[in-house]
Amino acid sequence: MTSVQIYRIKGGGYRAFSCLGHTGYAESGEDIVCAGVTAIVFNTINCLTDLLGEDISLEMDEDAGEVICNFNAEPSEKANFLVDCMIHGLEWIQGQYGSEYLRYEINELAQEPARAN
């Protein structure tokens, strides 16, 4: 199963999201659920950097199927909208294929987390 965690400030913008694991819907190379999740997550990351120039940091482990995206600065309104669109796509996939393959969770943070300098 793939687990997506999304973090945002209560009443504010997003701060980070992570995607971990392989869906297990089908064999590697045949897994349309995993391909869909990967396309949505990486398209969001690419749009954040290439189109909006957002200041983000990425950590990736391809073997584990792990991607962690952190906003290093306050995300723009458009960046928040892109993450909303990512969530919408994940919601659709989960609705079509089931939560045994994909789960996502939005975590509300009460305050701004400390940022490393």
User: pTM of the prediction?
Assistant: 0.89
Is 108 part of any domain? no
Is 113 part of any domain? no
How many domains are there within the chain?
1
What is residue 101's predicted lDDT score, i.e. its pLDDT? 96
CB 16 within 8 A of CB 71: yes
Angle at 21 between CA 71 and CA 91, to 5 degrees: 70
Is 34 part of any domain? yes
Whats the size of the chain, residue-wise?
Answer: 117
Among the listed residues 19, 34, 47, 88, the single catalytic one is: 34
Is 46 part of any domain? yes
Is 41 part of any domain? yes
Is 19 known to be catalytic?
A: no
Could you tell me which residues are beta bridge partners of residue 20?
Answer: 3, 66
Is 27 part of any domain? yes
**Which H helix or E strand runs over 35?**
helix 32-46
The per-residue pLDDT string of the chain (117 residues; one tens digit each, 9 = 90 and over) reads: 999 999 999 888 999 999 999 899 999 889 999 999 999 999 999 999 999 999 999 999 988 889 999 999 999 999 999 999 999 999 999 999 999 999 999 999 886 655 554
What is residue 38's predicted lDDT score, i.e. its pLDDT? 94
CATH at 43: 3.30.70.1490
For 91, the domain range is: 2-102
How many C-beta atoms lie closer than 10 Å to residue 82's C-beta? 21
What is residue 110's predicted lDDT score, i.e. its pLDDT? 84
What is residue 116's predicted lDDT score, i.e. its pLDDT? 54
3-class secondary structure, 92: helix
Displacement of CA 69 from its chain's centroid (Å): 7
Question: How far is Cα 83 from Cα 4, in angstroms, rounded to an integer?
Answer: 12
Is 8 part of any domain? yes
Among the listed residues 19, 22, 47, 85, the single catalytic one is: 22
Question: How far is Cα 102 from Cα 37, in angstroms, rounded to an integer?
Answer: 8
Is 110 part of any domain? no
Is 88 known to be catalytic?
A: no
